[in-house]
Amino acid sequence: MKGSDETGLKKGLWTPEEDRILVDYVQRHGHGKWKSVATSAGLNRSSKSCRLRWTNYLRPDIKRGSVSGEEEQTIIDLHALLGNKWSTIASHLPGRADNEVKNLWSTRLKWKLIQMGIDPVTDGPTTDVHSILASQLQLLAAVNFCNPIDINSALMLQSNAAATIAKTLHLLHNMIEVMGTTASNPATVENQPFGYGLGHEVTELQSNFIDLVASQHQPKPILDSKTCSNSNDVPFASSSFAANVQNSTTLQLPTWITASPECRPRPDINVVQNVNNISNPSTTFEAWGDEATASDSYWRDIIE
């Protein structure tokens, strides 16, 4: 029978009438005994289906509608901490069901992180060179052309762009260094994970990325002190960022990244320190707090 399984239980979307029956039953008898709910209420549904419908849609405290930026950030932070523990994450978001959090993550937040150059699985910097460059280009475009009305989003993009570019630059530096030692041997070229012509591709990537940074030397500020006058409105504000950028001498960030004194990136990633440390590659990843990524062997393992 269409819409039913082999046991005769109905499947598929719930009708308003079924919803009404379920709500009515739960209100009178309470929830928890889903087997009895399914049988006693006269619903031709499985106990699982009843529970799911109630917890994800019908319970009175459920919050429908768009998810706020604050909620999104909470999900991202908790996912970094807990992984795919959707019910646990949802328990920190009043009125949100685990299914909704799960859907939100897989349809929007995951791709958001990927575009920011963050691996959504490890919550660390992505190790795929093509997605790194693609994400940087998208990020730069977004920062340069984003709507100034959305100040918080713009600031987040700016700070993330600065941090991610610094990370990416060094990431490429280390990868190129390791590749250089392996790809220089023609006998091993065919065994390279990126296939034949690795040296050329690496050189091109390096060149493209340097060009990308150089092309940003003409400042194109999207925000000024007028549009961002209140540091309380700015998440992750740090007072040292602008000064540090100006003091940076070895490899300056593009000037457009420089935030106005009140508009600064999150302090947990010291962008300037990372950029300055590029002259000393062995310490940069350590500064990011991930010692495993600091050594050449880490990248050698990935590449091999």
Partner DNA sequence: AAACACTTCAACCGCCTAACT
Partner DNA sequence: TAGTTAGGCGGTTGAAGTGTT
Residue 97's Cβ-count burial label (10 Å; 0-12, 13-18, 19+) is buried
The region of 84-92, 126-134, 228-236, 255-263 touching DNA under the rule CB under 7 A is: 84-92
Examine residue 53 and tell whether it contacts DNA (CB under 7 A).
Answer: yes
Q: Which residues pair with 4 in a beta bridge?
A: 10
Report the alpha-carbon distance of residue 304 to residue 286 in Å, rounded: 22
Q: Which of 86/299 has CB closer to DNA?
A: 86
The conformation of residue 124, written as its DSSP 8-state character, comes to S
* Distance in angstroms (rounded) separating the CA atoms of residues 244 and 262: 14
- CB of residue 92 to DNA, shortest distance in Å: 12
Residue choice 106, 122, 230, 282 for contact with DNA (CB under 7 A): 106
Does 5 contact DNA by CB under 7 A? yes
Q: Which two three-digit tokens encode residue 183? A: 């790809």
Of 291, 82, 296, 50, give the one whose Cα is nearest residue 175.
296
Among 30, 32, 186, 193, binds DNA (CB under 7 A): 32
**Where in 212-251 is the site for DNA (CB under 7 A)?**
none
Kindly indicate which of the ranges 50-58, 167-175, 205-213, 253-261 contains the residues binding DNA, using the contact rule CB under 7 A: 50-58
| Contact flag: residue 57 with DNA (CB under 7 A) | yes
CB 250 within 8 A of CB 275: yes
- Interface with DNA includes 86 (CB under 7 A)? yes
Nearer to DNA, 12 or 186 (CB): 12
Q: Which secondary structure element, helix H or strand E, spans residue 73, and what is its range?
A: helix 69-82
Residue 71 in the binding site for DNA (CB under 7 A): no
Letter for the amino acid at 97? A
Give the residues lining the site for DNA (CB under 7 A): 5, 10-14, 32-36, 45, 47-49, 51-53, 56-57, 84-88, 98-100, 102-104, 106-108
